[in-house]
Structure 1
Amino acid sequence: MGGGRIAYGDDSDQFGEWWMPDGSSRAIGTAVLLHGGYYRSGRNLDLMDPMAADLAERGWAVWNVEYRRPDAHDWAATVSDVRAALAALARIPSFAPDVPLIVIGHSAGGQLALQLAEDWAAATSAAGSPAATVPPIALAVSLAGVVDLPGAYERNSSDGAVALALGGSPTEQPARYAAASPSLFEGRRAPWLLVQGTDDVDDFALPNRALAANGRVGHPELLERSGDHFAVIDPAAPIWHATIARVADLVS
């Protein structure tokens, strides 16, 4: 167990850490982790290390992904990186394509997880796509995700993080918002699980409840328990225990 660093690109932020279950060469599934930080470079994949260790102890292989953040690069680089990191699984010798593959993201990473799952589901049917060598995503889990990007823009959440990330307002960048914001999706191809702490701020809690009520995306399941914005990635927190139990049910 423990993360071994593997590059999936040439930039210093294009790498992941690969964890395998301790004492086992066979995982029960693979979890791809996407950290948050509201699209800024001040946070990195270390945020997800406790979760990676917990999942590995439970028998999961874990691909904890770093990616170029749009404050230092641009939105296209961020979206491209999470796709490339997922495709890179096929080049990891101990990756097992015949066990469930899930994507788990926190905060801004929750938005990226849902967008990635939808993009990947569309790509699995495209000839010559990298998705041909990596299985479909069995479940996308958004932990206190940023799921309403136009709303976050209007509220100036995190001092304008969304405008910085997507390169402008919804009026200036309509295609980017439409492709990225789960609140704007016109359908859903992949299974989702939304997770939200009831002690989190309204800026996260209310949009997740609204997304669960959104018929256009099929009323995705929302799991709510007590906990703040970071309890959802704390292996000691009851909300995480509830989350991983529900994940096991949904992918079994």
Structure 2
Amino acid sequence: MATKRISDEPAYVLHRYDWSESSLILEVFTRHYGRIALVAKGVKRPTSSFRPILLPLQPLHLAFGGDAEIRTLKAAEWMGGHVMPTGDALMSGIYLNELLLNLLARDDPHPGLFDVYGNVVQVIASEHGEALEPALRAFELLLLREIGWLPMLDAQTMTLLELDPQQRYTLVPEGGLRQTNASDRASLSGAQWTALQRSLADGAPFTATLRACSEVMSELKPQLRALLNYHCGVTTLRTRQMMIDLQSL
């Protein structure tokens, strides 16, 4: 059987593992094939042309082939656009990658989510820090919706009753959206949840959801964090723990 070769595929490197003294295994997010694993042979050698290209948060076009679970990288081209983020922006990008590695199955295409990821990377790489937090919240919402783990945000999950615009509601991992009780530390009004639902259904969902998130960031963040941790099966994601440790220093 002829080995299938894919060329000129838009992609981002999510993570890299040592495979041998000279080679790496790459976890890659591609537009048309989803998350895949590639072996990059000889990439660690000083003379490798791939060495300065295969970096996270950089837009790439890749060629690869093979029918095994781990395919072989054939070519890589940097598509330009921005330099490597640093500081908090870099940590935010690593956080995005950790979410994708934890929540996306291999070989499951999500072209719309790939485009959203590219939009967030552009925000991360820019110097507009005020847009970073809303962009992260927008990505979290769109990721959860894409993989089917976000309930409808304009109705109570268990009863399917419409939200009262003035009432407060909380998003909880095992119960979806419900009326806020005394033990809940964060909540949004029915009107705010409904606005988020409308933004997700917009024709340009990233831009619309970013705007909606900018109005409710402080209350939305802990609720999404709890939901993401629940589905990732952890109490704290590694990236967040790293940021906590750095701040403590």
Give the TM-score of the pair, scaled to structure 1. Answer: 0.25
Rg larger for: 2
Tell me which of the two structures has the higher relative contact order, counting C-alpha pairs closer than 8 angstroms and 6 or more residues apart. 1
Which structure is higher in strand share? 2
Give the TM-score of the pair, scaled to structure 2. Answer: 0.25
